[in-house]
Structure 1
């Protein structure tokens, strides 16, 4: 039995997002978000589920903080609902919204848990979407104003800030593929949205520095490790395009201040260009204190003319699958973070999300024996240990997610939590995976 031991300062945490857990969608002055609109549109979400109640964490945050404390985490990544702070996206601050997050942050600090706040986890105020949303550059200014209010309100209490969660999902998944709010299917629009979100990120980082806010600021990209099925040049190029769609398209501007030219050229063949204004790329490339990486899966691809946006088809090579039908590819985590370190330098890395969806059943003894999820975590923890041993500056790991919750377009049928949520009673039941992670945190390692 080999013992896996993590550095003493390694940050163990777990993560959630506001719309997925809070509920209370019309309480205390909160405005509507694009996800309220999307989920209330028939046929957009499985079973026409919505986030009106979700896990009711708005009223049960103390219970959730108690679960975090029992778990033993050093940090908790949550997101702030922009429409709770600015119901119309701009204008007067909703003090009751600020007060809710003050209570959450104070409860975390009292429990010895560091709050890590994400400013944008997809719930854009609907009032801003009505004016064009992220396609309208005025939304950049609205975001920076919102960010400034939060920075000032929590300076000294929140020491780790994430501007955006998964800009690929905000842009391409939501505005090209159309699976998420606002549900558009327009490549040029998606490229516009991606660019404007990254400019907004850079402007928020600049504001953070100007204000002299204590702590660290970064952003989170969802990275996918995609490899060529063979060594043929066509397969290599097809797989490279497919990977860059998630990875280089967002990482290069963040760290290099430029878009990958081979992707710019490819998008031009599809009739789409990037709406860069003077100064944009310098803004996007503002120096960040860390990079967050959300990793769930990877795969293999080969060239196939006309297949998807990039003439690339995925090849199934026998991976185990999660209930999301995603490949379980733990070694891909090692490969993608090694690539990040090699390509973009020594910026500290946090795995801001990693986890798995399986069909969970609550047994008569109020337990969930999620052996597959536990095994998923074990495999990925081993890769984290490998990365640290290989000199990659991996500083922490946030499991997705603390709770079963509203899984976006999948509604409530897909469960990622290490705590089971009974959506009828809203009771929480820690799963076997919760106790596994609790033990890992307690020992700061495990035996394999």
Structure 2
């Protein structure tokens, strides 16, 4: 069967600044929370590879822009490092301005729609030591940073995304012990959620006031939540998880409302959120119309099988537990279920509940460990597993479009193997492989396949 996508559909991939720029000690970059996490606990990083040990895009971006053109990309997504652009929190670093303008130009002049994320897990250490998003005081500094980006780069940017996966940022820092400051604090976590919601609205407000040429939106991760059964307890577990990891951001950013069930739930267990005069009006008036979705795998949940330990800290995992569906297909390297229909169900939810905003799949892909196992005699990685993964998800994306979802683009994660916040270079996702020791970059088989998809605006299966 042939799957043809709508005219002007955008095809590409994505990277993030902290995973590609390198050059921690060049160009005036300040430290981020990940630099501090690595300094304090390097043993927790796979092969002890820190965020300063990655690709050198800071000095070599032109090469990678050309590689993107070589596989016919017509869109690309990356981010700006707050800690590089405004390293002291107050003054703009002109070396960083030159770098970002030159890098963005390198992709734009090769015909790519350019999407830029403003905040992607990489809080400057300076601000995290003051509480990061757990403190309302950071909002003005964040708005200043975002406004600065708009003023400096809007002529080169097609889509601004304020955040990438904001709930993951909250969970890593304040729930899962996966990033500095490595806290397990229910109250701080939900204060961070609220302040990120409010900061987002204030950034959108400033953007609209200045009538910039680009579009503005955000990127949310959405693993559609499937309850084990229609049993009342399983349904409640799914609802609770949805409130904590999806609705807390989706409803305010897309509908301009804060869900009352969410507020009741978090306050019941001790979260103290201060909603000040004017906050709700600002949130209501500054929603987004452009949405990026990172979709990899489903969330399957069931009710907890036993009572919580009353002495245990309250976390997002306290109200449900994972359900292993019999017969599920797995990516054993990453530990994630493969269920391509998740992309359809997620897109249709956005259509039916959130008014069908303009959407792009901003991440979707398959991470594999030790991909050298799959080299052919010519040395190319034969990643047919990745081709099949992407193809099956695109089939469901195509069905969602046929059923009315306003999906206008697909960016695979990732363009090239890069440094990841959770597994560093353990699981690699790229169209291109990257040798951390030699700096050599090679195309995988999937890159040639995706080039054909782009040039044909679809594929046959």
TM range (shorter): over 0.9
Report what 1:445 is aligned to: 458
3-state SS, counterpart of residue 98 of structure 1: helix
Task: State how 1:201-280 maps to structure 2 within 5 Å.
Answer: 201-280=200-279
3-state SS, counterpart of residue 390 of structure 2: helix
1:142 positional shift: 0.8
**Greater Cα shift, 173-182 or 59-68:** 173-182
3-state SS, counterpart of residue 300 of structure 1: strand
Report what 1:436 is aligned to: 449
1:203-256: per-residue Cα shift (whole Å, max 9, x none)?
111111111211100011111111111111111111222233322121111123
Whether 1:336 and 2:346 are equivalent positions in the alignment is yes
1:306 positional shift: 3.9
Unpaired segments ≥5 residues, structure 2: 309-316
* 8 A contact 1:223–1:295 mirrored in 2: yes
* 8 A contact 2:190–2:266 mirrored in 1: no
1:399 positional shift: 0.6
Q: Using the alignment, how far apart are the partners of 2:357 and 2:389 within structure 1?
A: 27
Task: State how 1:18-167 maps to structure 2 within 5 Å.
Answer: 18-42=17-41, 43-88=43-88, 90-167=89-166
Report what 1:294 is aligned to: 294
**Greater Cα shift, 306-315 or 389-398:** 306-315
Q: Using the alignment, how far apart are the partners of 2:14 and 2:283 within structure 1?
A: 25
* 8 A contact 1:44–1:409 mirrored in 2: no
Q: 1:427 aligns with which of 428, 440, 447?
A: 440
TM-score when normalising by structure 1 = 0.96
Report what 1:380 is aligned to: 393
Whether 1:310 and 2:298 are equivalent positions in the alignment is no
3-state SS, counterpart of residue 11 of structure 2: strand
Q: Using the alignment, how far apart are the partners of 2:389 and 2:411 within structure 1?
A: 14
Task: State how 1:396-435 maps to structure 2 within 5 Å.
Answer: 396-435=409-448
Q: Could you say if the C-alpha distance between residues 56 and 391 of structure 1 is closer, same or farther in structure 2, counting changes exceeding 3 Å?
A: same
Q: Using the alignment, how far apart are the partners of 2:243 and 2:379 within structure 1?
A: 44
1:270 positional shift: 2.2
* 8 A contact 1:14–1:401 mirrored in 2: yes
Q: Using the alignment, how far apart are the partners of 1:195 and 1:44 within structure 2?
A: 29
Q: Using the alignment, how far apart are the partners of 1:432 and 1:277 within structure 2?
A: 54
Q: Using the alignment, how far apart are the partners of 1:312 and 1:259 within structure 2?
A: 25
Q: Using the alignment, how far apart are the partners of 1:39 and 1:110 within structure 2?
A: 36
1:111-144: per-residue Cα shift (whole Å, max 9, x none)?
1112211111111111111212112222111111
3-state SS, counterpart of residue 164 of structure 1: strand
Q: Using the alignment, how far apart are the partners of 2:205 and 2:257 within structure 1?
A: 18
Report what 2:311 is aligned to: none
* 8 A contact 2:219–2:362 mirrored in 1: yes
3-state SS, counterpart of residue 360 of structure 2: strand
**Greater Cα shift, 428-437 or 277-286:** 277-286
Report what 1:3 is aligned to: 2
* 8 A contact 2:299–2:322 mirrored in 1: no
* 8 A contact 1:264–1:273 mirrored in 2: no
1:317 positional shift: 2.4
1:263-304: per-residue Cα shift (whole Å, max 9, x none)?
323223322243322222333341323111111110322212
Paired residues in the alignment total 446
1:158-188: per-residue Cα shift (whole Å, max 9, x none)?
1210001111011123211121343221111
1:21-46: per-residue Cα shift (whole Å, max 9, x none)?
11001111111111111122223322
3-state SS, counterpart of residue 296 of structure 1: coil
Report what 2:313 is aligned to: none
3-state SS, counterpart of residue 411 of structure 2: strand
* 8 A contact 1:84–1:98 mirrored in 2: no
Q: Using the alignment, how far apart are the partners of 2:283 and 2:47 within structure 1?
A: 39
Unpaired segments ≥5 residues, structure 1: none
Report what 1:352 is aligned to: 362
1:314 positional shift: 2.0
Q: Could you say if the C-alpha distance between residues 109 and 278 of structure 1 is closer, same or farther in structure 2, counting changes exceeding 3 Å?
A: same
1:3 positional shift: 0.6
**Greater Cα shift, 310-319 or 13-22:** 310-319
* 8 A contact 1:40–1:48 mirrored in 2: no
TM-score when normalising by structure 2 = 0.93
